[in-house]
Amino acid sequence: MDFIKQFFFSFICTIGFAIFFSIPKNSILKSGIAGAIGWVIYIQIANIFSSNILGVFCGALTVGILGEMLARNSKKPATVFIIPGIVPLVPGSGMYYTMLAITEKRFNDAANIGTETIFMAVAIAMGIIISSSLSKSIKRVKNKS
């Protein structure tokens, strides 16, 4: 049941940001599904391996791959699906708790939380970069043959 709740709320979150970013109407549901699947992958990997960083990387990689596939099918830029899709993965709470720890002069906590938050942000970027690179490599191979 928790799985369904996680999927539903991340779907709604992604759709909200897709509307906010003025995504074309016929792409909103697709970007919502990509974001929800990426979030569920993140939750599952983070729980299995006890690593938020690995979970975020796998979630972002999933969103990137889905975004590239959806872009090819709908003849739209991949960013239409990727940008709203990664929003649920952005470590907003980590940024908040880092700043809170700084204002409360708990600098060790701020350093620990801030470091994990930065690594999560880098993991998101790496997931998107790798998925984009894979897509371009596959296109090149298909065009040669």
| Mean pLDDT along residues 34-44 | 97
Evaluate whether 134 touches 66 at the Cβ level (below 8 Å): no
**Residue 3 burial (C-beta neighbours within 10 Å; 0-12, 13-18, 19+):** exposed
Two tokens at 102? 């700084």
| Mean pLDDT along residues 36-46 | 97
Q: State the Cα angle at 128 between 126 and 134, rounded to 5°.
A: 100
Give the model's confidence band at 1: pLDDT under 50 very low, under 70 low, under 90 confident, else very high. low
Predicted confidence (pLDDT) per residue in 78-133, tens digit: 999 999 999 999 999 999 999 999 999 999 999 999 999 999 999 999 999 999 99
Evaluate whether 9 touches 43 at the Cβ level (below 8 Å): no
pLDDT reading at 143 higher than 70: yes
pTM of the complete model: 0.92
pLDDT reading at 69 higher than 70: yes
